[in-house]
Amino acid sequence: MKSKLQILHLEDNANDADLIRETLLAGGIECRIKRVETAGDFELSLKQGGWDIILSDYKLPAFDGITALAMAKKMLPDVPFVMVSGTIGEERTVDALRLGAVDFVLKDNLSPRLGLAVRKAMEGVEAKKERAKLEEQMRQAQKMEAIGQLAGSIAHDFNNLLMVINGCSEMGLGKLAADNPMRADLEEILKAGKRAGWLVKQLLVFSRKQIFQPKVINLNDLIQDMDKMFRRLIPENIEFVTLTSPDSWAVKVDPDSFHQVLTNLVVNASHAMPKGGKIVIETKNAVLDSNYAQQHHKAPPGEYLLLAVSDTGTGMSEEVKAHLFEPFFTTKEKGKGTGLGLSTIYGIVKQSGGFIQAYSELGHGTIFKIYLPRVRAEASTWYDSEDSSPLPKGTETIFIVEDDDAVRNFSVTFLRKQGYEILEASSGQQALDMTGESGDTQIHILMTDMIMSGMDGRQLADKLKILRPNIRVLFSSGYTENMTIHLGKLGTGEAFLQKPYSLKVLACKIREVLGLPAGNDR
């Protein structure tokens, strides 16, 4: 219950009004009471609003409690109404309750009855608010689940397209001499394809379908790579500045997840500056002693990389800051935000072993400070680096089952070029039929798409192992490994390739699976 209730009291008897006030105060209920006597004053007070509860006498000159109740329910339907009277009978009591009063109290029995009625009414209001909050959270969760399902489906189909774009670009580059002018065009196509694959990962991170994959990186590299994207995201009337320390310590984070962290913080900052302003992203090394760490963040003392995102926007009140990282809490108007952005950021930072703090004052902007533990290891590139070493080859027989013709044709062409004998099928049933017709031909690996119409990859592998117990299995999918496990299609430890994969990854994965003992691909 609120510390001080705002009470509207409809009562024509000043002595009764004073007695009711004294009874509430004696019962420990702090309140500010406005007493009105006439229908006109009551209606005007209802229009003004801001009331926590309404108390009303039943019998008034040229006015009555039932009429007052009807007015209150029409104008302020969520404010509890308690009838307090010395003349109300049982029949009228039933009418009042039926019409929406939450309770009635007789004036000759105010203590402790009145205090109990007010407390019960306010508990009902809080319960109703909490129920509405939970219902809204449920709606938001259902919305996010639907978005997640859509994102997963888009990612699956788009990754198939990227398989062909990236794979054919790589094979084309392999056929061209180093000085061939066509190489530059193919390299740009491949670069764009890899970027597109990374964007699909961002979609999966947003929809909670992407598994957390931390790497030791220099966060400055990620910020520098995202610079152009940030400048496209924010309006032209906002100045964007990066101040990255050249000697920044390495940290261990999931680059895809921290792309989302930075994007959310920058977008939120821009929304706080509708008339323009300035956003600054800064990195610097920080050493926290035990006193500072405990007083400010309750975190282990030590060496940290500080990532700060600040703006010159509208700032936040203390009330907003108190709920800032709660799931579904948002200050944006209905339909403009889910309230999940900052709670997601909080979870990603905690998952990375760090902590986050917000500093803000109304009218003076906001700064988010993220502290990430220093990692004493050499930072790797957050993106896939080029590798010019020869691709592994082989002569074994691989059965490729893929319902996307372009992806299947690409895989067949590349693996044949690497020396393998290839069988191919566009469906699980066709693969089973071909296996039965192949006689004693040894099939070393079944490479199958996980999600196919009709018989999926899981079902095909299980059936094929009955016919060929020693066959090894390599699953692939546009969904993440984490998602396919969640769907019950992939067992923990089974060989898996997430699309889009490079020629290098495919060639090495084939040799890896062939190196396993026969029948032990699980």
Prediction pTM value:
0.48
Q: DSSP strand E in 245-402: where?
A: 251-253, 277-288, 302-311, 355-360, 366-373, 397-401
Give residue limits of the domains in the chain.
Answer: 5-111, 219-373, 397-514
Within 8 A by CB and 6+ apart from 84, the residues are 11, 20, 55, 56, 57, 104, 105, 107, 110, 114
Residue with tokens 């009414």: 121
What confidence category does residue 308 fall into, taking pLDDT thresholds of 50, 70 and 90? very high
Q: Using the predicted structure, report yes or no on whether residue 440 has a pLDDT greater than 90.
A: no
Amino acid at 224: Q
Give me the pLDDT at residue 44, please: 95
Report the range of poorest mean pLDDT among 153-167, 319-333, 461-475.
319-333
Report the range of poorest mean pLDDT among 49-63, 328-342, 344-358.
328-342
What confidence category does residue 56 fall into, taking pLDDT thresholds of 50, 70 and 90? very high
Q: Using the predicted structure, report yes or no on whether residue 8 has a pLDDT greater than 90.
A: yes
Q: Using the predicted structure, report yes or no on whether residue 496 has a pLDDT greater than 90.
A: no
Task: Give me the chain's average pLDDT, please.
Answer: 83
Q: Using the predicted structure, report yes or no on whether residue 161 has a pLDDT greater than 50.
A: yes
Q: Using the predicted structure, report yes or no on whether residue 336 has a pLDDT greater than 50.
A: no
Between 91 and 402, the more confident residue is 402
The residue count of the chain comes to 522
Give me the pLDDT at residue 453, please: 84
Give me the pLDDT at residue 141, please: 67
Q: Which of the following CATH numbers is that of domain 397-514: 3.40.50.300, 2.30.130.10, 3.40.50.970, 3.40.50.2300? A: 3.40.50.2300
Average pLDDT for residues 43-54, to the nearest whole number?
94
Give me the pLDDT at residue 482, please: 52
Select, from the ranges 59-63, 118-122, 501-505, the one with the highest average predicted confidence (pLDDT): 118-122
Inter-helix orientation angle 428-437/457-467, to 10°: 10
Q: Do 5-111 and 397-514 come out as alike in CATH topology?
A: yes
Select, from the ranges 90-94, 305-309, 331-335, 357-361, the one with the highest average predicted confidence (pLDDT): 305-309
Give me the pLDDT at residue 484, please: 52
Average pLDDT for residues 115-132, to the nearest whole number?
91
- For 387, the token pair is 């590798």
Give the separation between CA 12 and CA 93, rounded to whole angstroms.
20
Q: Transcribe 81-109 into DSSP letters.
A: EEEEESS--HHHHHHHHHTT-SEEEEGGG
Give the separation between CA 7 and CA 13, rounded to whole angstroms.
16
Give me the pLDDT at residue 439, please: 77
Within 8 A by CB and 6+ apart from 425, the residues are 399, 400, 401, 431, 434
CATH number of 219-373: 3.30.565.10
Give me the pLDDT at residue 338, please: 45
Within 8 A by CB and 6+ apart from 295, the residues are none
Give me the pLDDT at residue 17, please: 94
Within 8 A by CB and 6+ apart from 326, the residues are 339, 343
Contact 190, 217 (CB under 8 A): no
CATH topology of domain 5-111: Rossmann fold (3.40.50)
Give me the pLDDT at residue 160, please: 80
Between 161 and 220, the more confident residue is 220
Q: Residue 395 gets which letter from DSSP?
A: -
Average pLDDT for residues 359-365, to the nearest whole number?
87
Contact 438, 423 (CB under 8 A): yes
Report the range of poorest mean pLDDT among 38-52, 101-115, 283-297.
283-297
| Strands 277-288 vs 302-311: parallel, antiparallel or unpaired | antiparallel
| Cα distances (angstroms) measured from residue 11 to each of 5, 60, 91, 121, 148 | 18, 7, 21, 19, 56
Give me the pLDDT at residue 399, please: 96
- Return the half-sphere exposure (C-beta side, CA atoms, 13 A cut-off) of residue 188: 4
Give me the pLDDT at residue 170, please: 86
Give the separation between CA 307 and CA 338, rounded to whole angstroms.
25
Residue 366 phi, psi (nearest 5): -140, 145
Give me the pLDDT at residue 520, please: 41
Between 56 and 230, the more confident residue is 56
Angle value at C-alpha 438, between 437 and 439, nearest 5 degrees:
95
Average pLDDT for residues 148-174, to the nearest whole number?
79
Q: Quick one: what percent of the chain has pLDDT higher than 90?
A: 39
Contact 223, 280 (CB under 8 A): no
- For 111, the token pair is 């203590």
Q: Using the predicted structure, report yes or no on whether residue 490 has a pLDDT greater than 70.
A: no
Q: Using the predicted structure, report yes or no on whether residue 277 has a pLDDT greater than 80.
A: yes
pLDDT in tens, 217-264: 999 999 988 888 888 878 889 999 999 999 999 999 988 788 878 988
Average pLDDT for residues 204-223, to the nearest whole number?
74
